[in-house]
Amino acid sequence: MKIVVINGSPKADQSITLQHIRYFMEKNPAHDLEIIPVAGPIARIEKTETLFREITEKMAGADAVIWSFPVYYALIPSQLKRFVELLFERCRPDLFKGKYTTSFTTSINFFDHTAHNYMQGVCEQLGFAYVKSYSAHMDDFFHEDKRKRMLGFYEWFIQMVEEKIPVARKYKIQVPKPIVYEPGSMDQFPVVSDKKVLLLTDAGPEDTNLNRMIDQFQRTCSMEVSLKNIHEIHMKQGCLGCCTCGYDNTCIQKDGFARFFNDNLKTADIIIIAGSVKDHYLSATWKKFFDRSFFNGHAPVLKGKRLGFIVSGPLSQIQNLRELLEGFGDGWHMKSAGFVTDEHKSSEDITTHIRAFAQELVLAEDRDLEFGARFYRVGGGKIFRDFVYTTSAVFMADHLFYKKMGMYRDFPQQKFKKRISNAVFLLFVKIRPMRKKIHQRFIPGMVAPYKKVLGKLSSHKS
């Protein structure tokens, strides 16, 4: 049994995820596993056609392929994303037809599901037979029971391959032929607001629809829009995962990315991200941009800003992409401005929706509109809080930020009043005859404080 492991961690041999693969190898010495790093050498792989062919031929010749990578910003690292793009751009459509594959990741379990969904989507589109993947927390390895579970997963996967057990396809995108957006004559709306809109895009000349949508948005928006193309930042590489930024938010890569982020994103009121769908995400350049923003650590440095998206491509068919983009904004404590796409029947319809998007933006800004803190922000906030608290030696800057912003006050242990009232309640309900009596008053009791506030409001009115 020949297995090719694609190592997508920028840390190559130092990858935590890869140590898990090595563990599987130790436990199964008869299996022939070859590890191929693709993140560090991605620029060379892209430039050297023979190297790219060598890798893809090995993948095609193996019995199975395992993708080993860390979760980066709800997806795979940008370097691996570029590798996936190259597979779509350069491989014949049947190269991986029916080949078994799966993913193994480590992370802190924040938006790991979208990374796994993404890999399943792209692998299925490339023709692979995708077997359900495994998401480990980066600390799981040190628990014997969890190690046993991962090993169980690996050995189950091998058995699936050996016995050629059929797997059902999960994602099928039916991409309708996109229309070419012809905006027609464009009205220029006057600027009436002093709010600053930063419109970031990766659009190249080939992104006809996206460029025209951006143009239309700029004319329609009654706020000043500053347009920046992220290609002009000249990011040298993707995030290296070195975590040096953890101490004081300084990135070791000196290519102007951090300055760009600080000067432009942190000073804007509204940020609009504009990109075209590429495979099941935006481009690898956008991914590089998001990954590199890791120099800010886990602090919601864009908190309170409004975030919207202009997307060209079949976004409505890729719920996973929509979810992770929304989650990204929520995780950063930003206010949602929603999406506008070119998935409409006519150019007139696209124009109507771009105008509506711009109008909604102004209305929302005027009212300081928010939609409540949902699971992404609340759940993610707790994951980050616990993580930063227990890794404060490395993520020192985050720790100071969390302390300053009172983000540790959210620990349940700190809520003394609630803990005392719960303890008293517990004492009473432990006494069985009392439990019945208390429970009869439980539902009215829960709603009573709400009614009290409403009662006060209506008595103020009269």
**Binding map of ligand FMN across residues 15-44, x = CB under 6 A, - = no contact:** xxx---------------------------
Amino acid (1-letter code) at residue 176: P
Order of strands, sheet of 223-229, starting from the edge strand that comes earlier in the sequence: 223-229, 193-201, 270-276, 306-312, 335-341
Identified binder of ligand FMN from the candidate list 3, 66, 74, 271, rule CB under 6 A: 74
Tokens of 458: 């209506």
Identified binder of ligand FMN from the candidate list 291, 330, 342, 365, rule CB under 6 A: 291
Identified binder of ligand FMN from the candidate list 24, 67, 294, 384, rule CB under 6 A: 294
**Binding map of ligand FMN across residues 377-416, x = CB under 6 A, - = no contact:** ----------------------------------------
Distances (CA, A) of 248 to 52, 108, 310, 395: 38, 21, 33, 8
Q: Which is nearer to ligand FMN, 74 or 354 (CB)?
A: 74
Q: Which is nearer to ligand FMN, 70 or 329 (CB)?
A: 70
- Mark the segment that binds ligand FMN (CB under 6 A) among 72-80, 276-284, 409-417, 422-430: 72-80
**Within 391-415, where are the H helices?**
396-404
Residue 276 binding ligand FMN, by CB under 6 A: no
Q: Which is nearer to ligand FMN, 110 or 157 (CB)?
A: 110
- Rounded least distance, CB 39 to ligand FMN, Å: 9
Residue 64 binding ligand FMN, by CB under 6 A: no
Distances (CA, A) of 57 to 54, 85, 274: 5, 16, 35
Q: What is the DSSP string of 177-237?
A: PPPPP---S-PPPPP-EEEEEEEEE---TT-HHHHHHHHHHHHH-SEEEEEEEGGGG---S
Q: Which is nearer to ligand FMN, 96 or 290 (CB)?
A: 290
Residue 111 binding ligand FMN, by CB under 6 A: yes
Answer yes or no: are the C-beta atoms of 304 and 334 closer than 8 Å: yes
Q: Which is nearer to ligand FMN, 114 or 283 (CB)?
A: 114
Q: Which is nearer to ligand FMN, 70 or 121 (CB)?
A: 70
Answer yes or no: are the C-beta atoms of 377 and 333 closer than 8 Å: yes
Q: Which is nearer to ligand FMN, 68 or 101 (CB)?
A: 68
Residue 108 binding ligand FMN, by CB under 6 A: yes
Q: Which is nearer to ligand FMN, 71 or 340 (CB)?
A: 71
* Spatial separation of the C-alpha atoms in residues 80 and 85, rounded to whole Å: 9
Size of interface with ligand FMN, in residues (CB under 6 A)? 22
* Spatial separation of the C-alpha atoms in residues 69 and 32, rounded to whole Å: 20
Residue 301 binding ligand FMN, by CB under 6 A: no
Tokens of 389: 């608290």
* Spatial separation of the C-alpha atoms in residues 382 and 375, rounded to whole Å: 10
Axis crossing angle, helix 416-430 with helix 432-440, rounded to the nearest 10? 120
Contacts of 60 (CB under 8 A, 6+ apart): 95, 96, 99
* Spatial separation of the C-alpha atoms in residues 349 and 352, rounded to whole Å: 5
Residue 253 binding ligand FMN, by CB under 6 A: no
* Window 122 to 161, contacts with ligand FMN (CB under 6 A): 138
Residue 337 binding ligand FMN, by CB under 6 A: no
Identified binder of ligand FMN from the candidate list 4, 6, 11, 66, rule CB under 6 A: 11
DSSP run (H or E) holding 134: strand 134-137
- Rounded least distance, CB 235 to ligand FMN, Å: 13
Residue 119 binding ligand FMN, by CB under 6 A: no
- Rounded least distance, CB 114 to ligand FMN, Å: 9
Residue 107 binding ligand FMN, by CB under 6 A: yes
Axis crossing angle, helix 112-125 with helix 78-90, rounded to the nearest 10? 10
Beta-bridge partner residues of 306: 270, 335
Answer yes or no: are the C-beta atoms of 83 and 90 closer than 8 Å: no
- Rounded least distance, CB 151 to ligand FMN, Å: 18
* Window 338 to 377, contacts with ligand FMN (CB under 6 A): none
Residue 112 binding ligand FMN, by CB under 6 A: yes
Residue 241 binding ligand FMN, by CB under 6 A: yes
- Rounded least distance, CB 71 to ligand FMN, Å: 4
* Spatial separation of the C-alpha atoms in residues 385 and 391, rounded to whole Å: 10
Binding site for ligand FMN (CB under 6 A): 9, 11, 15-17, 70-74, 106-112, 138, 239, 241, 291, 294
